[in-house]
Structure 1
Amino acid sequence: MILYYHPLSSYCWKALIALYENKTAFEPRLLEDAAVVEAWKTLWPIGKFPVLRDEARDRTIAESSIIVEYLGLHCPGPFRPIPEDADAAIEVRLMDRLFDNYVMTPMQAIVGDRIRPEGVARDPYSVGEARRMLGKAYVLLEERMAGRRWAAGDDFTLADCAAAPALFYADRIEPMRSGFPGLAAYIERLEARESFARVLREKEPWWHMFPFANG
């Protein structure tokens, strides 16, 4: 298994958490070296990451949720990203979508506006809309997750792999911990879990590059 990724990418964190949870052996390839970037673009010309290359099966897998599910199917281990029960699986996939679409997406829109090239006008209206979406998402998630230990219930799943980077980054941009005690306790559990703690440790050499690193 080869993972092409960037150490600050929220979607790459999602795949890394699953790999670490499952204790799956893989070769990390950071998208910094020109040869690595060329290989990645050859495998996935769309130019998005992460990308997982399974040499043993001659498969190239993109999109973080699909990578996590692929690991569950072809690298069985201690981590089960999708429950066997069909209704429980629907809830996991729904929560995965909620975190990706309503937390990760507006968070990335705000970051994208902050890092626009010099001379390109910023878009305060869209940033305001993204912040409002984050506020709505916090309310929804606080209510939906009431009484749950993890995003979709008692077990750590794909939904938590999505939640960890989404909430960690969003909280830097639109802080939620003081107003949403359930989400605050949940993100603390995520940060204490070794798979995500490892991701957070590994990001440190690059963290200064994040435009909201200091709040």
Structure 2
Amino acid sequence: MALQLYYHPFSSYCHKALVAFHENDIAFEGHVIEGPDSAAYRELAARWPIKRFPMLVDGERQVMEATCIVEYLQTSHPGPVRLIPADARAALEVRFLDRFFDNYISTPVQKIVFNALRPDPSVRDPYGVDEAHAMLDDAYGWLEQHMRGRQWACGDAPTLADCGAAPFLFYAHWVHPIQEERHPNIRAYRQRLLQWPSYARCVELARPYRGFFPLPIPADD
């Protein structure tokens, strides 16, 4: 039975999982979640009451959360590209960077975006948005130093950390611009990620859904 992936092409966390599929050319049957009335959404909700995606179904097993999906593919459907190193110390660094991009890039970006999506201005959270921008400032500062002299987040080849960095930095620039004069290493890294074939595919598949984004999108993206 084919692997089944419940996802949306515009979702950053879905991109994170999709990169792992693309990088090792792993076939899957896609179930695109087009809204709460779609069949894919109803199937997702029946399997996973939290109703978050991506979700992978492999026979009788289902795997939730993008990081877990990437790890599951490596253990159960391995390909030529290893995204989590075999060496335990190297794997620990990769997992730390994975958590860094999730918690300190993606989480504040989502705070800003979800706030902008609230239709009633009276329930928006400007204080929380300011906190999110401050977190991104701090995260960019750390990442700028970390990426000095590096091509990839960890080591000499793409890993799980880059699977998350690609979509999270892509969208982060839309809400909290990565300025060339302040963060040249992050800008260059983001550009390399956009040229990474496994992520470039995600960007192109997401392009038709850009109208969903509630804030201005940079012209160069």
Gaps of 5+ in 2: none
Q: Which residue of 2 aligns with 1:114?
A: 116
TM-score, normalization by structure 1: 0.96
Q: Cα RMSD between the aligned structures?
A: 1.2
Q: Percent identity?
A: 49
Q: Distance in 1 between matches of 2:194 and 2:38?
A: 32
1:52 to 53, 56, 68: 56
Tell me by how many angstroms 1:105 deviates. 0.1
1:37 to 36, 41, 61: 41
Tell me by how many angstroms 1:177 deviates. 3.6
The one-letter amino acid paired with 1:16 is L
Q: Which residue of 2 aligns with 1:207?
A: 210
1:20 to 13, 19, 22: 22
Indicate yes or no: 2:193 matched with 1:193: no
SS at match of 1:203: helix
Q: Distance in 1 between matches of 2:17 and 2:52?
A: 13
Tell me by how many angstroms 1:213 deviates. 4.5
TM-score, normalization by structure 2: 0.93
After superposition, the C-alpha distances for 1:157-183 in whole angstroms (9 at most, x for unaligned) are 000001001100001111114221111
Q: Which residue of 1 aligns with 2:186?
A: 183
The one-letter amino acid paired with 1:41 is A
Q: Distance in 1 between matches of 2:122 and 2:157?
A: 45
Tell me by how many angstroms 1:6 deviates. 1.2
SS at match of 1:28: strand
Q: Which residue of 2 aligns with 1:74?
A: 76
The one-letter amino acid paired with 1:183 is I
Tell me by how many angstroms 1:119 deviates. 5.5
Tell me by how many angstroms 1:120 deviates. 4.3
Q: Which runs of 4+ in 1 moved over 4 A?
A: none
1:100 to 98, 102, 110: 102
Q: For structure 1, which segment, 183-192 or 205-214, has the greater mean C-alpha deviation from structure 2 after superposition?
A: 205-214
Q: Is the 8 A contact 1:99 1:166 kept in 2?
A: yes
Indicate yes or no: 2:93 matched with 1:87: no
SS at match of 2:123: coil
Q: Is the 8 A contact 1:145 1:152 kept in 2?
A: no
The one-letter amino acid paired with 1:25 is A
Gaps of 5+ in 1: none
